[in-house]
Structure 1
Amino acid sequence: MRDTGFPLADAENDFLRARRRQVLSRLATWLRREPDDVNIMLPFHEVVDALGMRSENRLGLRSIRLDSIVGSVDRTRDFDRRFRPTSGRVRERWQRLALAQRRGESVPPIEVYRIGELHFIIDGHHRVSVAHALGLTTIDAYVTEVVTRINAAGIRYRGDLIVKDYRRLFLERVPLTGEARAAVVVSDPWDYAQLGEHVEAWGFRLMQDEGKLLDRAEVARRWYTDEYTPVVGMLRQADMVGDRTETEAYMWVAGERYRLIRTHRWDPDVLSAVRDSSRR
């Protein structure tokens, strides 16, 4: 915090510095040709839609890290990802709060939703922006925890929500649990749709073979234990995973197997044919 001894002038300068940093950040993003969403605050409702809502629980007053606040319920246009003002619209209120902070006046806690380790502001955007500008690292907040079907790990930018959304849809179709849920991962969100179709087709053949109906949970369990795990084990032994995820290697070799041999069986001859084809 820079202090000239004149709180009003300092508060005005705080706002001007915050605006200047926001403009310079946008320019740097453009020069580096980074995605447009790098500096955009995450919209809370889009995150919840992508992850799937389960429940919420009020945790009460907590001290939270400012850098854990990454989004907002309804003010994503007024501030960027680091809560720097995006225009002069918020200047009057912003400077009043900065002045109060500089005079040592008490400021009420903000209110946030918590998803995993991320926080989204319900009320208190200006207070968070001022706290960032003054170099603070924590802020008091009334926290409501939101529990989602898919965890929020790995979300940095708005584009990451696409992956989470497709994974959530995949796990509704193929309800894996525990170790299996964590192991089945792809990089391209579109691959989750293709994998879902593949598992459902595998489950249909299984039900035909056994002559009985199985629910989605049982199909998912049997696919992982009877199909996925043995095949991935063979791929590891044959050094055919490469720089893909194991799930991506499985999808590739399963597709090539059927294209080349038109069979759903697995044996060393199948893997040899696929390996020879990839080399050619």
Structure 2
Amino acid sequence: MRRDTGFPVADAESDFLRARRRQVMSRLAAWLRREPDDVNIMLPFHEVVGALGMASEKRLGLQSIRLDSIVGSVDRTRDFDRRFRPTSGRVRERWQRLALAARRGESVPPIEVYRVGELHFIIDGHHRVSVAHAMGLEVIDAYVTQVITRINSSGIRYRGDLIVKDYRRLFLDRVPLGGEARAAVVLSDPWHYAQLGEHVEAWGFRLMQDSGQFLDRPEVARRWYADEYTPVVAMLRQADMIGDRTETEAYMWVAAERYRLIRTHRWDADVINAVREESQSHGRGPRV
């Protein structure tokens, strides 16, 4: 909460000390709650875009953006935490000058940001954002450049979430699904995307051998989703074999069990029943 004593210089100094104290207390609270190490770390822009895959960018001009949508930085991730509280005394002098200007009602130039989905990353203006947070503001003026990525940014909260996006992007390079199929194929464990990519490529190779014709990656992806994935998932739903996993995880499990037990690549109701009976007898059925 902003506090005024009538002495702007002293108030600006107090603002900085209060922001530093909150940063230390937040880090201590995260440690006591055994939260992930990256819970208070600002997201690095280049790592995020690298995981999502850069497509293009477009300047949008001056806009008013919410402060809580600013989650990262291009190059200053060490000086401030996720809530843009100072992490040391290095930024104190400049921070207090801006806080003093804000208390005196002086105009502050807009910041500059990249926009990725609904997230914003600071190019210029870290101290201004930090002071705005300390002043209790909710919005700030910014020159916005929108970055279009190949994978959407939904679900990114912490730095650790980037590995899921990175492996999913690599999977979609190998298996370029689109539209509904792209949204439907989801795995919780990022490592499993590599396994699924190999599975689809092997399926496509067998298809090309059987048909005697070459198929490019988009066509293999389209055929796999339409002719293999969708019918199998429908059979798994009917047999109540999805459990608490995602549909894609259930598909991968039953595909592996099918070949291990029956040594076949075909699908029908008899195959599903055989896999279910065998797995239930050994306690390897779907988690429910």
For 1:198-251, what per-residue CA distance to the aligned partner results, in whole angstroms no more than 9, with x for missing partners?
Answer: 000000000001000000000000000000000000000000000000000000
Match of 1:44 in 2: 45
Amino acid paired to 2:260: R
For 1:18 and 1:278, the matched residues in 2 are separated by 56
Instruction: For 1:227-266, list aligned pairs within 5 A.
Output: 227-266=228-267
For 1:93 and 1:27, the matched residues in 2 are separated by 26
TM-score by length of 1: 0.99
Match of 2:169 in 1: 168
RMSD: 0.5
Question: C-alpha displacement at 1:278, in angstroms?
Answer: 2.0
Match of 2:286 in 1: none
For 1:22-54, what per-residue CA distance to the aligned partner results, in whole angstroms no more than 9, with x for missing partners?
Answer: 000010011011110000000000001000000
For 1:123-174, what per-residue CA distance to the aligned partner results, in whole angstroms no more than 9, with x for missing partners?
Answer: 0000000000010000000000000000001100000000000000000000
Report the 3-state secondary structure (helix = DSSP H, G, I; strand = E; otherwise coil) of the residue aligned with 1:39: coil
For 1:273 and 1:260, the matched residues in 2 are separated by 8
Match of 1:129 in 2: 130
Match of 1:189 in 2: 190
Aligned residues: 280
Report the 3-state secondary structure (helix = DSSP H, G, I; strand = E; otherwise coil) of the residue aligned with 2:241: coil
Match of 2:284 in 1: none
Match of 2:208 in 1: 207
Instruction: For 1:99-114, list aligned pairs within 5 A.
Output: 99-114=100-115
Q: Name structure 1 gaps, 5 residues minimum.
A: none
- Runs of 4+ in structure 1 deviating by more than 3 angstroms, as ranges, are none
Amino acid paired to 1:267: D
Match of 2:78 in 1: 77
Report the 3-state secondary structure (helix = DSSP H, G, I; strand = E; otherwise coil) of the residue aligned with 1:159: helix
Question: C-alpha displacement at 1:118, in angstroms?
Answer: 0.2
Question: C-alpha displacement at 1:276, in angstroms?
Answer: 1.3
Report the 3-state secondary structure (helix = DSSP H, G, I; strand = E; otherwise coil) of the residue aligned with 1:4: coil
Report the 3-state secondary structure (helix = DSSP H, G, I; strand = E; otherwise coil) of the residue aligned with 1:36: coil
Question: C-alpha displacement at 1:116, in angstroms?
Answer: 0.3
Q: Name structure 2 gaps, 5 residues minimum.
A: 282-288
For 1:32 and 1:259, the matched residues in 2 are separated by 43
Report the 3-state secondary structure (helix = DSSP H, G, I; strand = E; otherwise coil) of the residue aligned with 2:80: coil
TM-score by length of 2: 0.97
For 1:152 and 1:52, the matched residues in 2 are separated by 10
Residue 93 (1) aligns with residue 94 (2): yes
